[in-house]
A and B are shown apart, each in its own frame.
Chain A
Amino acid sequence: MDNTFKSNRINRHFKSKGEKREMKSKAKTYVILVLSSILVIFPVAWMLSVSVRPNNQVFEYPASFIPTTFTLEAYINVLSNNRYLKYFLNSYIIGMIVTIVSTVIGIMAGYGLSRYKYKGKKVFSMFVVATQTVPKVALLIPFFIMMTTLKLYNTRIGLIVTYTSFALPYAIVMMQGYFNSVSTELDEAAMIDGLSPFQTLWRIIVPVTIPAIISTMIYTFILSWNEFIFVMTLIQDDALRTIPVGIAMMKGETTYQWNMMMSMSLIGSVPVLILYLIGQRYFISGLSDGSVKG
């Protein structure tokens, strides 16, 4: 009788062994996800914690996640200083221009590589991919000499040109891959309706490839937003500097402004976060779809 009662209770919770296995598997998955999340989120959370404490309490012992003294002085110092606000503005301007220019050129180049056959197409394609393999640091001095020769040193245009050259190969490869997955029947139908190739691209093909375009735009914006060594080298005027340099300026020889570094980093990551949240599903689908056909 007892055994029957007990087994009935168990059977009410778990109808089958399969369900039991599934529950265990789910529990394992959730544990791994929670631990991974803590691993990833903890540094950012610590940044937040440091950004809201006075600079002389950053290394206090015993270390505590909750600051002993809570203060927004770091944020106030950053946001009330015209110099730092200029860094943000420069990062926005350069990021947006590089994103738009790279995406537009990438769309057109990708379409050309996808739809047309011409002499040198393979060589050009290989060249575009090959430029991605060169370490950026190796290009520092050549770019520096190039920009000074072209009188673009210490100008926004010079920086935009430089960043665009980094972002373009990715944009072209991504767009070519995505266009390859779009049926040519759409192009043929558009041309039958009297549209030119240019019109076909922008009015028919581009609307269909929005995920890849958004994914490309997010990537190029992040690339431009986070770049440090080239803006450090190519820009001398403080009024033209960007956020990464602004953060580096808080590291002196004898003192570091830890809390201001963290606050500026967090404020600087907000636009990227917004972009990613808005285009998250496009970004993920664009990454995978574009890679199906090269």
Chain B
Amino acid sequence: MRDSKRTVILLLVVVLVFAVFAGCTKETIPEKPSTDNNEATKAPETEPVTIQFLQWWGTEGAVEASIDGLVAGFEAEYPHITVEVISLPFGETKTQIVANHAAGTVADVVGLNPPWTREFVDLGILEPLDSYMANDDDFNKDDYFPASMAPIKGNTYLAPYNTLSFFLYYNKDMFEAASLSTPESWQDVIDAAEALSDIDNNKYGFTLSLSEGGASNGSILSLYPLLYAANGRTLVGDKYSCQTPEMVEAMNFLKTLSEAGSIVPGENVKNDAMMVEEFSLGNIGMMIQNDAHVATLAAKNPDLNYGIIPIPTVDGSGTPELRHHGWDIGMTAKGENKEEAWLFISYLLRKENMERAGIEMKKTPSMYGVEPSEDASEPEKLAKQYLAEYSMVEELMEMPSAGACWTELTKAGVAVLGGIKTVDEALADCQAEWDNILGQ
């Protein structure tokens, strides 16, 4: 017994030593683009300055290399400015920005999800960008998707970078096999989901995430996109309401899907990424997701034959609106180098850099007139086309305590799908929580 234990210990030590000395890496230095033909005006020589750029984007595969390349280009153009890139896990970014702000150590430039904006504005974390945008000759607001630049308390706080709008993804092979056409109404989605579900063979018509866990959770992935597809809103007059007819309709839609057995079990514990994993396997008919996952699906299952369409309106009439989500950029109020921070933001927002980032990061730049690359997939091209054609809505950006509110809505969804409450009961309870949280 002792001998075998010693052997195991010895083996583990060997593995450990091998692990410590294994491999060597050739660090790749991002190419600094030639500045010979640079049309931008170089900043006058000044004292060296270091600005920090905090984001989670660098954890998304190839995005880190793209950011490094963009930073290298910026530093080549502005030699007196050094950009320190700080990458954090997505789930920790919001918390760390708040904590760093409290301690006075927050980065100069931060990557943001729009739903965090109002909370950050209320905490005094973000600097208004209006004057910087107005005084920058290289920046024209009309060139960019307007959703992220919607004023909050009269000011613009976000610079739009990448847009991740929500669409209905559908498995073309499953639809063709079942002789189904693309849904044009919510009833079509319900019928298609039921037709595609074959539980004995592990096929489901729909996958859904209603998990409260994770930074990107539940209702913002399903109920909000459905709400806006139905041309609904949560802000009615000066009060936020989750009991609007469109929200009731959205909740009933999910309830019907669930009662028909069309939804993959486990929606309460599934997060964003897990939904996409399931859909990538090719046995799920549909999901509601943002167009960032076009890139995810390309990596997971390049052979998956799927399409994307705007979520239809309830009865198929009228034009749906898209729920806007995105990777946006903000400047912090406590940052010490605001002029340099804006120079960096402005650099990132230049059309050539937006185009480059869009290709390298496989995301949709929040800018009109950015053509997809020639080798872009059909869903990628469609996403860009739809974003230019359809209106986008993002109420969470301006909603106080947005995170707490959408979590309550997620709980309502869980209660309805779990059969614990009726739709009216769940939304009434959610409304009571919203009134309490928002003081309305």
Binding site for B on A (CB under 8 A): 55-56, 58-62, 76, 79-82, 85, 88, 140-141, 144-145, 148, 153, 232-233, 236, 238, 245, 248-256, 267, 270-271, 273-274, 277-278
Interface of A is mostly: helix
Q: Are B89 and A144 in contact (CB under 8 A)?
A: no
A257 to B220 alpha-carbon distance, docked (Å) = 24
Q: Is the CB of A144 within 8 A of B103?
A: yes
Is B281 an interface position by the 8 A CB rule? yes
How many angstroms between the C-alpha atoms of A248 and B91 in the bound complex? 9
Per-position 1/0 for B52-95, Cβ under 8 A of A: 00001001110000000000000000000000001111111000
CB neighbours (8 Å) of A81 from chain B are: 23, 25
Q: Nearest-CB distance from A269 to chain B (Å)? A: 10
Q: Are B23 and A76 in contact (CB under 8 A)?
A: yes
- With contacts A238-B87, A254-B295, A277-B9 taken as known, whether A248 is within 8 angstroms of B102 at the C-beta atoms is no
Task: State whether A60 touches B281 (Cβ < 8 A).
Answer: yes
Known A-B contacts: A59-B277, A253-B215, A254-B293. Give 4 more (CB < 8 A).
A144-B103, A254-B276, A254-B295, A277-B5
Number of interface residues of B (CB under 8 A): 51
Answer whether residue B278 sits at the interface, using C-beta atoms and an 8 A cutoff.
yes
Counting CB contacts under 8 A, is B373 at the interface?
no
How many angstroms from the CA of A144 to the CA of B96 in the assembled complex? 11
CA–CA, A56 and B296, complex, Å: 10
CA distance A250 to B56 in the complex (A): 11
Please choose the segment from B11-19, B142-150, B377-385, B400-408 that sits at the chain A interface, where 4 or more of its residues have CB less than 8 A away: B11-19
Q: Which of A61, A236, A249 lies in contact with B59, CB distance below 8 A?
A: A249
- A62 vs B278: C-alpha distance in the bound complex, in angstroms? 12
- For residue B292, CB closer than 8 A to chain A, the reply is yes
- B8 on interface, CB distance cutoff 8 Å: yes
| A-B pairs, 4 with minimum CB distance | A80-B23, A248-B89, A253-B90, A252-B60
Name the A residues within 8 Å of B91 (CB-CB).
248, 251
Determine the distance from Cα of A17 to Cα of B300 in the docked complex, in whole angstroms.
Answer: 62
Binding site for A on B (CB under 8 A): 5, 8-9, 12-13, 15-16, 19-20, 22-25, 27, 56, 59-61, 86-92, 96, 99-100, 102-105, 202, 215-216, 272-274, 276-278, 280-281, 283, 292-293, 295-296, 299-301
Residue from B61, B90, B293 within 8 A of A251 (CB atoms)? B90
The verdict on A82 contacting B25 (CB below 8 Å), with A144-B103, A251-B59 known, is: yes
**Residue of chain B at shortest CB distance from A256:** B273
Q: List 29 A-B contacts (CB under 8 A).
A: A55-B299, A56-B299, A58-B277, A62-B202, A79-B19, A80-B25, A144-B99, A148-B105, A232-B92, A232-B96, A233-B99, A236-B86, A245-B89, A249-B59, A249-B87, A253-B56, A254-B273, A254-B276, A254-B293, A254-B295, A255-B273, A255-B296, A255-B299, A256-B273, A267-B19, A270-B16, A271-B16, A273-B12, A274-B12
Q: Complex: how many Å from CA A216 to CA B283?
A: 51
**Cα-based distance from A277 to B1 in the complex (angstroms):** 12
Query: In the complex, which residues of chain A have a beta carbon less than 8 angstroms from the beta carbon of B56?
Result: 252-253
Of A80, A254, A255, A274, which one neighbours B16 at CB under 8 angstroms? A274
A257–B381 alpha-carbon span in the complex (Å): 26
Least CB distance, B193 to chain A, in whole angstroms: 18
In contact, A145 and B61 (Cβ under 8 angstroms): no
Tell which of B8, B281, B293 touches A277, judged by Cβ atoms closer than 8 Å: B8
B27 touches A253 (CB 8 A): no
Q: How far is the CB of A148 from chain B (nearest CB, A)?
A: 5
Check B86 against A238 for contact (C-beta < 8 Å).
Answer: yes
Residues from chain A with Cβ under 8 Å of B272 in the complex? 253-254
B305 to chain A, nearest CB (A): 16
Q: Which residues in A have their C-beta under 8 angstroms from that of B274? A: 59
Give chain B residues whose Cβ lies under 8 Å from the Cβ of A238. Answer: 86-87
Closest to B89 in A: A248
Chain B residues with CB under 8 A of A270: 12, 15-16, 19
Q: Nearest Cβ distance between residue A280 and chain B, in whole angstroms?
A: 8
User: Which residue on B lies nearest to A280, using beta carbons?
Assistant: B5
What residues on A are CB-neighbors of B13 within 8 Å?
A: 274
Nearest Cβ distance between residue B108 and chain A, in whole angstroms?
A: 13
A128 to B24 alpha-carbon distance, docked (Å): 46
Chain A residues with CB under 8 Å of B19's CB are 79, 88, 267, 270
Residues of B within 8 A of A271 (CB): 16
CB-based contact B16/A253 at 8 Å: no
Kindly identify which residue among A88, A140, A255 contacts B60, using a CB–CB cutoff of 8 Å.
Answer: A255
Verify B15–A255 contact, CB threshold 8 A.
no
Q: How far is the CA of A27 from the CA of B273 in the complex (A)?
A: 45
Output the residue of A144, A255, A256 with the most chain B CB within 10 A: A255
A residues in contact with B278, CB < 8 Å: 59
Known: A56-B301, A255-B60, A255-B61. A80 touches B22 (CB 8 A): yes
**Within the assembled complex, what's the spacing in Å between the Cα atoms of A81 and B274?**
26
